[in-house]
Amino acid sequence: MNIADSIIKNKLKNVYFIWGSGKTTIANSLSKKYGFYVYSTDESRNRQIKLANPVDQPYMCRNFEKEYGVKSFWELPKEVIAEREVHFVAEMTPMMVAELIQLSSLHNVIICEGDIDYSAIAPVATNAVHLCNQSTSFDWFNRPDHENIRDTVAGRTDLNDEEKQRVIEHAYECVTPAESNIPDWVTELGIKNIIWNNHTSIDTTAFEVAEYFGFTK
C-alpha cells in the first residue's frame, strides 16, 4: 500500500523535527519550557526491532556482531557501522512515521528528535530544523543515555586495558562528525540550519528554534 505524501504530511503537521547535533538537548529544553511531547527516535529503536522481520527490515534483523565475530557493536569496522546505520534508519523510518501519526492525534505539538531517513521524511515534514554544532567541546559519549557504552567496555573482562582503550577510541572515530559545516543534504532539501558553538547557550539556541517554529508568537 502506498500512501500519498500529502496525506502523511497532513497527519504530521503538528510534528516538529529537530535534526543534527544537539537535537536532544534542544528538544528537552523546549519540552521543559512549553510542555511539548518529545518523541526520541533513538529511544524507539528497541520497540521497532521487536516488530521488524527479515523480509521487510533485513538490516534491523541482522546480527552484525555474530557475522563479524566480535563481541560488541563498537568493534565492528567503521565502514560496516556506517553502512549498517544508514540502512537501519531507512528501514526504521516508516515504522516511526506510523507511531508519529498515531501520537499526532493525542498531542497538540510533538517534538521529534533523532536520526531518521531525512530524504524520506523531508517531503512529508512541514516543520524541520537542522542544528550544526561547531563547538570543540562536544562529546557524544558524555550524553547521559550514552555513558553506559564506555562503562560497558570498561567492565569487560575479556579485554586488557590497552584493548579497551582501542575499542573506545574506535567508537569515537565512528561517531565523530567528519565536518562541522552544513551537510549537503540540508542545503539540497531546503532545511533551515541553525549554528551553535562554544559561545552559544542552550537557551539561546532553543529560543532560535522556538522562534523559527512559531512557538514564541
pLDDT (0 to 100) of residue 175: 64
* CA pseudo-torsion sign 65, 72, 61, 91: negative
Q: What are the residue boundaries of the structural domains of the chain, listed by start?
A: 5-213
Confidence of residue 208 (pLDDT cuts 50, 70, 90): very high
CB-neighbour burial class of residue 139 (10 A; exposed 0-12, middle 13-18, buried 19+): exposed
pLDDT the model gives residue 151: 73
Given a cut of 50, whether residue 95 has pLDDT beyond it is: yes
Residue range 121-177, pLDDT digits in tens: 999 999 999 998 776 555 555 555 555 667 777 777 777 877 777 777 777 676 655
Q: Which fold has domain 5-213?
A: Rossmann fold (3.40.50)
Q: Give the per-residue pLDDT at 179.
A: 46
pLDDT confidence band for 77 (50 / 70 / 90)? confident
